[in-house]
Structure 1
């Protein structure tokens, strides 16, 4: 794992931990935890070689940003509706499904990157030996 990806893992772990602890008292802490999960996914989707930020990493980065933004928008709209004792707005379900789509794409990107790294290592080891 490249040094930059290791640093991202440390930052993500701190964001997740602080977000979960702060989430008990402030809602924004849960958004920080979601952002930490997205950063962790970016770190785990590194590519082989010296240029670790691969095209799959870019897809995971965009999907993680989309997921974090949709999660924040969803929970803020639900919280605002609950505070005002009103119905949940129609945009909340749209944000929910956008968030689920971003999460699925992000998870698929991490799995794809892991498979591509494994196949690359096997290809190199079989050519060398």
Structure 2
């Protein structure tokens, strides 16, 4: 059986979620939502190599993702992220912490709509093996 979360971890996660409610989903899922059609492209002058700098913004937390492309459509840089104030700093002590991830998951699960349990449970028929 998994031990319960420590009181200090629960309190720290609760404070993080209350302070930064828009960051909680992105931190829990370890991904951002970059909607299609919301990206912008800035032309890079030919004397600097040409191509485009494409910027996308996460709908939930405001993180920017930037990448450069050459004039032939090949990516010429790795993805670069710019996080809003507090996104990384307030959560830095929880990176790689399984208890913190579990606390974020519990917060998310408790916020989901609840369905009524079925009144009766019907057993599936089981064939007898000879």
Question: Same fold, TM exceeding 0.5?
Answer: no
Higher relative contact order (CA 8 A, sep 6+): 1
Bucket of the pairwise TM-score, normalised by the shorter protein: under 0.3
Q: TM-score under structure 1 normalisation?
A: 0.25
Q: Which has the larger share of helix?
A: 1
Would you tell me which structure has more strand in proportion to its own residues?
A: 2
